[in-house]
Amino acid sequence: MMLIISGMPIEVCKKNIKNMHLYVKPPNGNVMVSAPLSMSDEAIERFVRTKISWIKMQVSNFDNQLRQSERKYISGETLYVWGKQYYIQTQYGNKNSLVLSGNKALLTVRKESGIEQRENFIREWYREMLKIEVARLLPKWEKATGLKASSWQTKYMTTKWGTCNTETGKIWINVQLAKKTPECLEYIILHELIHLAERNHNERFVSLMDKYMPMWREVKVTLNSQALDFMELK
């Protein structure tokens, strides 16, 4: 169900839960409400209207975030890798490659390649970077928590940094985390693992996050304040 309140679309999802939860989700500030199955649409709308000032403030925070301009992958543009800004130097060759050196990102592409081809290469380069780090960090947090994912996968996502299927134990990690500072990836990995023990964002979930990563709130703020990419997610 979709509500339109004060001109803002708000997605409503009814679940087998006891309490209502309101989210303004990164990276685009999408608004979502999770509500008990028994709650009427009118009650949900009344609840949302009481929170409208807070919602507008959160959405504004996302709108005001620094965003990179549209990429053409030519010399002089910038890209982010693990939170650090690099300046692209484009050169032509027979094989695509991207090498980081100092504050430079040395991008080799075929001269005839278009923007979409270059973007697809960069996307997969980020994916490989992320997969290496997830493979290194996930076992660390599984050992710390005693929780184990059945499997994991990387994916470009528009509204979530990560997600967990609590029925199958599978975790997905947003590829765009390879652009953020390293602690952001650790925070998302832990966040999704904790969902294997507690599917809701309730007091138990928060206490488990506090136990294993006491500074998680600060990391969450850091994640949501870093530059968002122009890239259209496919």
What CATH number is associated with residue 145?
Answer: 3.30.2010.10
Rounded CA-CA distance 197/182 in Å is 24
Q: Looking at the structure, do residues 87 and 6 belong to the same domain, yes or no? A: no
Q: Summarize the confidence of residues 180-201 as an average pLDDT.
A: 94
Weakest mean pLDDT among 25-34, 147-156, 158-167: 25-34
pLDDT band, very low/low/confident/very high, at 232 (cuts 50, 70, 90): very low
Residues 56, 90 share a domain = no
Q: Is residue 143 over pLDDT 70?
A: yes
3-state secondary structure of 117: helix
Q: How far is the C-alpha of 209 from the C-alpha of 43, rounded, in Å?
A: 31
Same-domain status, 82 and 59: no
pLDDT at 130 over 50: yes
Burial of 190 (0-12, 13-18, 19+ CB in 10 A): buried
* 69 within some domain: no
Residues 85 and 171 in one domain: yes
Question: Where in the sequence is the domain holding 147, given as residue range(s)?
Answer: 78-225
Q: Judge if 161 and 185 occupy the same domain.
A: yes
Number of domains, the chain: 2
Give the residue from 77, 78, 229, 50 showing the smallest Cα distance to 157: 229
Tell me which of 63, 96, 115 is where a domain ends.
63
Mean pLDDT of 184-189: 96
pLDDT at 2 > cutoff 90: no
Confidence of residue 54 (pLDDT cuts 50, 70, 90): confident
Residue 234, pLDDT > 60, answer no
Contact criterion met (CB below 8 Å) for 35 and 1:
no
Higher pLDDT, 58 or 95: 95
pLDDT of residue 140: 97
Within 13 A of 172's CA, how many CA atoms are on the CB side?
Answer: 15
DSSP, collapsed to helix, strand or coil, labels residue 99 as strand
Of the listed ranges 118-122, 158-162, 207-211, the one predicted with least confidence: 158-162
In a domain, 92, yes or no: yes
Query: Which pLDDT score is estimated for 59?
Result: 75
pLDDT score, position 227 = 55
Residue 233 placed within a domain: no
Give every CB contact of residue 203 below 8 A, 6+ residues apart in sequence.
Answer: none
Tell me: do 202 and 137 sit in the same domain. Answer: yes
Rounded Cα distance between 198 and 166, Å, is 9
**Amino acid at the residue 77:** E
Q: Which residue has the higher pLDDT, 63 or 29?
A: 29
First to last CA, the chain: 24
Q: Tell me the torsion sign for CA atoms 62, 122, 92, 116.
A: negative
**71 within domain boundaries:** no
Percent of the chain with pLDDT over 70: 90
What is the arithmetic mean of pLDDT over 14-27?
80
- pLDDT at residue 223 tops 90: no
**pTM beyond 0.75:** no
Count of residues making up the chain? 234
Q: Is residue 70 part of a domain?
A: no
Position with higher pLDDT, 113 vs 62: 113
Tell me the average pLDDT of the chain.
87
* Strand, coil or helix: 217: helix
Average pLDDT over residues 165-184: 94
